Amino acid sequence: MKPSSWTYARRISQSFCLAVFLWLFLQTEYRGVDQLPYPVSLLFRIDPLAALADFLAPGPFGWQLLWPALIVLLLTILLGRFFCGWICPLGATLDGLGKLVGRGRRAYSPGWRRVKYYLLVALGTATLFGVQLLGLFDPLAIFLRSLTLAVYPAYNYGVNRVFDFFYEHEVPLLSAMVKGAFPVFRDHLMAFYQPIFALSLFTLLIFLTIILLERIEHRFWCKNLCPLGGLLGLCARYALLQRTPQQLCADCRECDSLCRSGAVRPAGHIRSECLLCMDCTGFCPEERVHFALRTGSRGSAGLDLQRRGVLTAMASGVMLVPAVRIGPVTHEQNPYLLRPPGAVPEEEFLQRCVRCAECMKVCIGRALQPALLEAGPVGLWTPLVVPRIGYCEYNCTLCGQVCPTGAIAPLKLPVKQKNVIGLAVIKPDRCLPYAKGIECLVCEEHCPTGEKAIVMEEREVLVNGALRALKFPKIVDRLCIGCGICETRCPVEGASAVRIINEGESRRRRPEPLAGPYG
């Protein structure tokens, strides 16, 4: 059994696409220019699930952005699931790591194949009714999310510790070389600051689970669970690129046991399941197998989705909606639920965000963190501004630039600088001048609005029984944009003495604000 040239071509294509993906991933960082030329969001433009989320969200479909996804769908109708076999970075990772984790050869019930279609139908139906969870299962989102939140931070941590070691211990020759390499790594191959994320471990566990499923059978995820695979499978049902022979040969049943996608069944070749890996063109002992474009489906097997299953999936999708909606409206309950600048209103935001974590990858001030339950039951992995960890950099517009589905609108800088994320509120029981009579102005000093949104007001107060003039910070509501640098930099240990709440955020339709003496 030797791989055919088609197999080699596929492997090259997979490696190339994975390399492009990783290269784009590394480019998705501020490296001195304000407008990112090659953000990894380019990759989501070919993602039909992202397009579906965008299509079903309120507002016009982003044709300009997402037409490549439609091309992928058209090509799939023509050729079959080439995306899964030749392009998908998660598929490539599974193919590449399979040998390492050990590959199962258990023949699973063909019934499992239907799960991905049911998942797609259930998620699609829920999305139609306004609960979008496609991103949780989208393979590109999973891959990017795992990379951003877990793999890349871990990689940076490891590399940095190596550099630390050679910085602290002078090893002849080696130390000089390693130190010389540091700027190259820092400027091109690493994050400038060590990425820090709240859900790293959780995200990693899910990623590892998907990889470990290889131990059950090859491409378990792709064959049984991936809703994008399901969508492409549906499109590929009558693909013109067809396999000959369609059936298992009478004298040899190798395909049945060797096919990684389980697409060659006694009933015939199932185009919806075939990942076009082309291995069968190589392992066929008689070299009978080839692929060619032709019409008609003589001898091939169709999909048996089972009406009952589809209806059940639709019903679960519909039922998901009230299950989610009957809870309290999270962003009204949780005043600390802050979204990136340019985020659309919360309900639409949840419908658009595909949880790809790109905004978190690119955030220059480490302000964006993935949500667990802070944004409600369906807000998992959506981006939150967490100002105690990092702030929104005043002159930066990167998150809006990389968002592939318009959940964060791309804002021009002057607009972004006026976009209100929230409002700073000083806590007098923690703030040094108020609570302890100690002078402090760190929040005022860092406030980035030209006319400062934090002013210092001098008052005479009793401190330890003596009258003393002290300056107190006050928030000017009309100027505060909630960037959060005051909360990040507040020198009080532990909980900050100034916190951003989501009151007055730009994306919310709201009544006239109350005008106080500070504006």
Partner 1 sequence: MMSCMDRRTFIRRSVLTAVAAAAGSLPVIDLQALPAHAAVTPPLAVRRGADIPFLVRETLGALGGMDRFVKPGDIVVVKPNIGWDRTVEMAANTHPDVVTSLVALCLEAGAKQVRIFDRTCNDERRCYTRSGIRAAVEKIGSDRVSLEYVDPRAYRELAIRGGRAFERWEFYLPAIEADRLINVPIAKHHSIAGLTLGMKNLMGVIGGNRGRLHSNIAESLTDIASVIQADLTVVDATRILVANGPQGGRLQDVRSPQTLIASPDIVAADAYAATLFNLAPEDLPTIVAAARRGLGVMDLKRVQMV
Task: Look at residues 206, 56, 242 and name the one whose alpha carbon lies nearest to residue 132.
Answer: 56
Tell me, what DSSP letter sits at residue 217?
A: B
- Exposed / middle / buried, residue 296 (Cβ in 10 Å: 0-12, 13-18, 19+): exposed
Q: Does 460 bind partner 1 (CB under 8 A)?
A: no
- Under the binding rule (CB under 8 A), the answer on residue 394 touching partner 1 is yes
Tokens read off for 44: 């989501």
Neighbours of 145 (CB within 10 A): 27
Per-position x/- string for 336-365, each x denoting binding to partner 1 as judged by CB under 8 A, each - no binding: ----------------------------xx
Query: What are the CA-CA distances from residue 221 to residues 7, 277, 380, 475 (Å)?
Result: 21, 16, 21, 51
In angstroms, give the least distance from the CB of 479 to partner 1. 11
Min separation Cβ 60 and partner 1, Å: 34
475 DSSP β-pair partners: 454
Q: Which of 29, 120, 47 is nearest to 83 (CA)?
A: 47
Task: Tell me the closest approach of the beta carbon of residue 505 to partner 1, in angstroms.
Answer: 22
Asked if residue 53 binds partner 1 (CB under 8 A), the reply is no
Which residues 423-452 are close enough to bind partner 1 by CB under 8 A? 432, 438-442, 444-446, 448-452
Quote the CA–CA distance of 243 and 233 in Å, as a whole number: 16
- How far apart (Å, rounded) are the C-alpha atoms in residues 246 and 256? 12
Q: Token match 């989610």: residue?
A: 324
Q: Which amino acid is at 2?
A: K
Which member of 68, 136, 489, 518 binds partner 1 (CB under 8 A)?
489
Least separation in angstroms between CB 141 and partner 1: 27
- Choice between 290 and 471, CB closer to partner 1: 471
Q: Which is nearer to partner 1, 287 or 439 (CB)?
A: 439
Residue with tokens 């802050």: 338
Q: In sequence order, what are the residues at sequence separation of 6 or more whose Cβ sits closer than 8 angstroms to the Cβ of residue 102?
A: 214, 215
Among residues 96, 107, 164, 253, the one that binds partner 1 under rule CB under 8 A = 164
Shortest separation between residue 175's beta carbon and partner 1, angstroms: 13
Based on its alpha-carbon atoms, the radius of gyration of the chain, rounded to whole angstroms, reads 27
Q: Interacting stretch for partner 1, rule CB under 8 A, among 3-11, 50-58, 74-82, 389-397?
A: 389-397
Q: Least CB distance from residue 452 to partner 1, whole Å?
A: 5
| In the complex, least distance from residue 171 CB atom to partner 1, rounded to whole angstroms | 16
Residue with tokens 């799939």: 76
Q: φ, ψ for residue 339 (rounded to 5)?
A: -110, 160
Q: Which of residues 7-36 bind partner 1 (CB under 8 A)?
A: 30-32
| Shortest distance, position 493 Cβ to partner 1, whole Å | 8
- The residues of the shown chain that bind partner 1, judged by CB under 8 A, are 30-32, 164, 167-168, 186, 192, 364-365, 393-396, 432, 438-442, 444-446, 448-452, 456, 471, 489-491
